[in-house]
Amino acid sequence: MKKKLSLPVKILIALVAGIIVGLICYFFVGAEVGGAFTTNYLKPFGDIFLNLLKFLVVPVVLLSMIDGIVSMGDMKKVGSVGVKTLLYFLATSAIACVIGLIVANIFNNANLFPVLSQDGSTFEGGEFQGFMSTLVNIFPSNMWKAFSEANMLQVIVIAVFFGGSILAAGQKGQLAKDIVSSFYAVIEKLMGFIIGLSPIGVFTYMAWVVATQGPNIVGNLAIVILCAYIGYVVHSVVIYSLSAQFLAGMSPLAFFKGAFPAMTFAFSTSSSAATLPVSKECTDAMGADPDISSFVLPLGATVNMNGTAIYQCVATVFLASCAGVHLTLGQMVLVVVTATLSAIGTAGTPGAGLIMLTMVLTSLNIPVDYVGLILAVDRLFDMGRTCLNVTGDIACAVFVSRWENRKTAKR
């Protein structure tokens, strides 16, 4: 009997096949025709797959968080998991910023960054509304609007309120509890089915990215992309290995092996939110407590963006040098603070980090139009940063899970 290939192997094969097909399209068919072919005939299948994942995001986040909270059994445990999770997210994001700044400054001081001039094209950036109005906007005034707009922070708040209230209602909340866990079981089945299709999504997206972006576009920005990727690799190898070894009590190799399917998936889709179902499978297969991963992962896919933080720091130093601004130490501290906050505010969707980058630039008085210089290659930055974002969520879930389990065992 033939042995069936496991999903991670299929994803890996799809990734390599996508790169090969993309290269063939680019070099042998010609960038224009090959690019148009992948855009018109391959990418749509990737889009269908991504649409299916996106439609799952709101129900998965909502149900998995409510189910996670309810299964934890008491609000004290939810609070303890929540605090650890948020502290982990904040600490690793700040470390990511520092790593990003160090790597970028090494490149900048060695005069490795190209100096490009802004060509006058304009770029619409996102606007930071101020801390208080951001805070107000986290709380939904209309539940359905939060769902239909996929406003994930609001969905998380709704989940926390519902989960907490079901617990508080005690015996009377039993039916609501059963309904949530039954719906969640159904959504999990659906997720399993859609994830089974992921090699198609990975293959078509990779072929499209390679065929349309080709080596030319990387051109003189290759060095900046390399700089960001060095930051990504340093952060994941150092921070997640240490976290796996000392906080989660597992070997770094086992950790990366377990997280691999989600990492490849994030790399090719550039969306933490869409990768959520895959991250959940990986994390649970690594032995994390499903209740805890149900709580930590959706939160992480919304607020924990280590890769985005590194990218924003590297891009800021690069664009500052293009604008002729030399960043002082004080300004670097400002970059750490704003990049950490803007990474938290970044949605887990493709390209969101680029929009939020404008917030960091504005805080340094660098015109946001400079973002235009890296716009064309953003996808290449995005693939790596999303991969890191997702790995960070998984690292946090296994760590918090182990900590909570040890606490329970002690009792």
In this structure, are residues 164 and 68 in contact, taking their beta carbons and an 8 Å threshold?
A: no
**Which of 247/262 has CB closer to ligand ASP?**
262
Q: Which of 236, 316, 386, 391 binds ligand ASP (CB under 6 A)?
A: 386
**Which of 305/335 has CB closer to ligand ASP?**
305
Site string for ligand ASP, 128-167 (x = CB under 6 A): ----------------------------------------
In this structure, are residues 231 and 383 in contact, taking their beta carbons and an 8 Å threshold?
A: no
* DSSP string across 27-42: III-HHHHHHHIIIII
Q: Which of 38, 306, 389, 401 binds ligand ASP (CB under 6 A)?
A: 389
Token couple for 28: 């042998």
**Which of 53/332 has CB closer to ligand ASP?**
53
Stretch that binds ligand ASP, among 61-69, 122-130, 188-196, 384-392 (CB under 6 A): 384-392
Q: Does 279 bind ligand ASP (CB under 6 A)?
A: no
**Which of 101/167 has CB closer to ligand ASP?**
101
* DSSP string across 73-88: -SHHHHHHHHHHHHHH
Q: Which of 271, 283, 338, 340 binds ligand ASP (CB under 6 A)?
A: 271
Token couple for 131: 């801390």
Site for ligand ASP in 291-350 (CB under 6 A): 305, 308, 346, 348-350
Site for ligand ASP in 34-73 (CB under 6 A): none
**Which of 63/305 has CB closer to ligand ASP?**
305
Q: Which residue is nearest to ligand ASP (CB)?
A: 353
Length of the chain: 411
Nearest distance, CB of residue 305 and ligand ASP, angstroms: 6
First-to-final CA distance of the chain: 49
Nearest distance, CB of residue 224 and ligand ASP, angstroms: 16
Say which amino acid occupies 403. Answer: W
The size of the interface with ligand ASP (CB under 6 A), counted in residues, is 16
**Which of 21/61 has CB closer to ligand ASP?**
61
Helix (H, G, I), strand (E, B) or coil at 52: helix
Stretch that binds ligand ASP, among 19-27, 54-62, 139-147, 269-277 (CB under 6 A): 269-277
- How far CA 308 is from CA of 271, 345, 356, 374, in Å, comes to 12, 10, 9, 14
Residue 53 CA to residue 327 CA, distance in Å, equals 41
Long-range contacts of residues 188-197, Cβ cutoff 8 Å, at least 24 apart:
190/56, 191/56, 191/60, 191/277, 191/280, 192/281, 194/49, 194/52, 194/53, 194/56, 194/277, 195/7, 195/277, 195/278, 195/281, 196/7, 197/49, 197/52
**Which of 53/320 has CB closer to ligand ASP?**
53
Which chain residues interact with ligand ASP by CB under 6 A? 270-272, 305, 308, 346, 348-353, 382, 385-386, 389
